[in-house]
């Protein structure tokens, strides 16, 4: 099997045309979803940005939607479209304040934002390319954004929103505390209030807010923040009831946000919106082809494929070993961690055995599908990496040809560089420089 598979790989030579074949496959897609096997690998971010730049420049993609919260990403959107209040790309990323900051405040994302800004300003673009967030963790920030918007256009509506969202004050504006107390049925919660606020926003049309220099984009953004608050309230109530429930709420929110963004941009620019999505492999690889299905979990990749079956293109990444930026536990400092060699029965080990170490593979080819039909382990590293429990913490069984359309394998990768590395990241970086590769 290995001897046959090597005949189907496309080596990555470090040249401009490395991804020509991938771009050709994506030509009929409206939604190109580009994953990552970790939230802290330099090469994943770098190559994802290169492919995205070409999709924008060569195939008229008009938006990048990322695994980040709407209000945080919207500051980047304002900057690349010319908001003079924001000084530079690093300033544009400054709203990413919550853990894990390095996921978006890193050198590769800054470089991409610089490119996007320059792309817009090199020539007048008929359709400016936006940068948007899909996630739902920003409950408090989104509440503030809705109220701030309404204060500018309708003080009475702002008062109603402030009154409704005041329901969260009893929980010290702590979403986890809110979720825990409501899960115990100690408080009825704020579900009715956030739904009422969302309905009020949705029932108003843009013309009713057309004053004080407010744009159509601002109106859409405010409505998306209200949607986020409603879904986040649902998510935190479900958080203490088990993983499938909260996971599915989150990924449905991201898929619904993507759909709303696509509909909005299609209507605004009078042509079908084409959008690139950036998120982890676990969100973008079709969940129906992984262990997630057994647990009753869905994800964005599956939902987008189901809604746009002929217009969705999924790209995944893998690596065999190297280093990664990750934390040892939630809300802990980022570290430059060594990544262990992949397990013997994993898809990463199969790829490691190839004569070429860096390559991409067309998973739509019938022969490749036949060769990789067997279910295998695949590694997923998120913002936390626990090498001591790697098999149970970071591996799922997958059927790779059904999970993605293309997989990009980079045998040895290195840690993503945060914009402002903390002491722990710098310290471990120096330690691993001295010991790597024997240190893994």
Do residue 186 and residue 196 come from a single domain? yes
Dist. CA 86–CA 226, nearest whole Å = 24
**C-alpha distance from residue 347 to each of 7, 47, 362 (Å):** 17, 20, 15
Do residue 292 and residue 209 come from a single domain? no
Do residue 263 and residue 283 come from a single domain? no
The alpha carbon dihedral of 216, 217, 223, 226 has a sign of: negative
Which CATH number is 414's domain given?
3.40.1660.10
Do residue 92 and residue 131 come from a single domain? yes
Query: Number of C-alpha atoms within 13 angstroms, CB side, residue 324?
Result: 28
Do residue 184 and residue 115 come from a single domain? no
Do residue 248 and residue 309 come from a single domain? no
- In a 10 Å sphere around its CB, with 0-12 CB exposed, 13-18 middle and 19+ buried, how is residue 162 labelled? middle
Do residue 287 and residue 418 come from a single domain? yes
User: Which of residues 258, 273, 288 is at a domain's end?
Assistant: 273
Do residue 70 and residue 167 come from a single domain? no
- Domain count for the chain, please give it: 2
What is the domain range of residue 356? 1-135+274-440
Do residue 292 and residue 387 come from a single domain? yes
pLDDT along the chain (440 residues), means of 10: 87 92 97 98 98 96 98 97 93 96 97 96 81 96 96 93 94 88 83 95 74 80 96 91 80 98 96 97 97 94 97 98 96 95 96 96 97 96 95 95 98 96 76 44
Longest dimension (CA), the chain: 70
Do residue 162 and residue 199 come from a single domain? yes
Dist. CA 1–CA 50, nearest whole Å = 32
Parallel/antiparallel/unpaired status of strands 312-326 and 406-413: parallel
Whole-number pLDDT of residue 424: 84
User: Which of residues 219, 246, 273 is at a domain's end?
Assistant: 273
Parallel/antiparallel/unpaired status of strands 406-413 and 395-398: unpaired
Cis peptide before 186 (omega within 30 of 0): no
Do residue 142 and residue 223 come from a single domain? yes
> 230 Cβ partners below 8 Å, 6+ apart?
194, 195, 197, 198
Do residue 212 and residue 355 come from a single domain? no
User: Which of residues 273, 302, 332 is at a domain's end?
Assistant: 273
């Amino acid at each position: 099997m290995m001897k046959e598979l090597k005949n189907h790989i496309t080596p990555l030579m470090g040249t401009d045309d490395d991804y020509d074949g991938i771009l050709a496959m994506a030509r009929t897609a409206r939604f190109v979803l580009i994953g990552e096997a970790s939230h802290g690998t330099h090469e994943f971010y770098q190559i994802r940005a290169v492919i995205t730049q070409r999709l924008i420049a060569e195939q008229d993609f008009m938006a990048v939607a990322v695994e980040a919260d709407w209000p945080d990403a919207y500051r980047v959107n304002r900057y690349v479209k010319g908001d003079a209040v924001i000084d530079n790309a690093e300033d544009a990323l400054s709203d990413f304040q919550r853990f894990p900051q390095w996921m978006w405040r890193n050198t590769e994302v800054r470089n991409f934002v610089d490119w996007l800004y320059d792309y817009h300003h090199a020539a007048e673009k008929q359709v400016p390319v936006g940068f948007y967030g899909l996630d739902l963790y920003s409950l408090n920030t989104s509440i503030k954004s809705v109220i701030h918007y309404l204060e500018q256009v309708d003080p009475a509506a702002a008062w109603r929103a402030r009154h409704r969202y005041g329901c969260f004050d009893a929980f010290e504006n702590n979403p986890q505390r809110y979720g825990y107390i409501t899960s115990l049925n100690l408080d009825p919660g704020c579900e009715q209030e956030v739904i009422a606020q969302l309905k009020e926003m949705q029932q108003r049309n843009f013309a009713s807010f057309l004053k004080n220099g407010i744009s159509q984009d601002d109106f859409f953004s405010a409505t998306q923040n209200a949607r986020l608050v409603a879904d986040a309230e649902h998510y935190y109530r479900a958080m203490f009831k088990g993983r499938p429930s909260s996971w599915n709420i989150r990924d449905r929110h991201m898929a619904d946000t993507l759909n709303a963004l696509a509909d909005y941009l299609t209507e605004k620019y009078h042509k079908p919106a084409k959008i690139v999505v950036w998120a982890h492999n676990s969100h973008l690889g079709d969940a129906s082809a992984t262990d997630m299905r057994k647990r009753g979990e869905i994800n964005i990749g599956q939902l987008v494929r189901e809604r746009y079956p002929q217009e969705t293109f999924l790209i995944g990444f893998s690596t065999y070993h190297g280093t990664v930026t990750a934390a040892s536990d939630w809300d802990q400092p980022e570290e430059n961690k060594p990544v262990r060699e992949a397990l013997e029965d994993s898809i990463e080990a199969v790829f490691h055995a190839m004569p070429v170490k860096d390559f991409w593979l067309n998973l739509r080819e019938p022969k490749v599908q036949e060769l990789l039909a067997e279910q295998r382990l695949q590694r997923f590293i998120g913002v936390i990496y626990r090498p001591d429990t790697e098999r149970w913490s970071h591996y799922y069984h997958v059927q790779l040809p059904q999970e993605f359309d293309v997989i990009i394998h980079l045998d040895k990768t290195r840690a993503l560089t945060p914009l402002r590395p903390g002491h722990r990241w710098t310290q471990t970086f120096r330690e691993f420089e001295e010991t790597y590769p024997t240190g893994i």
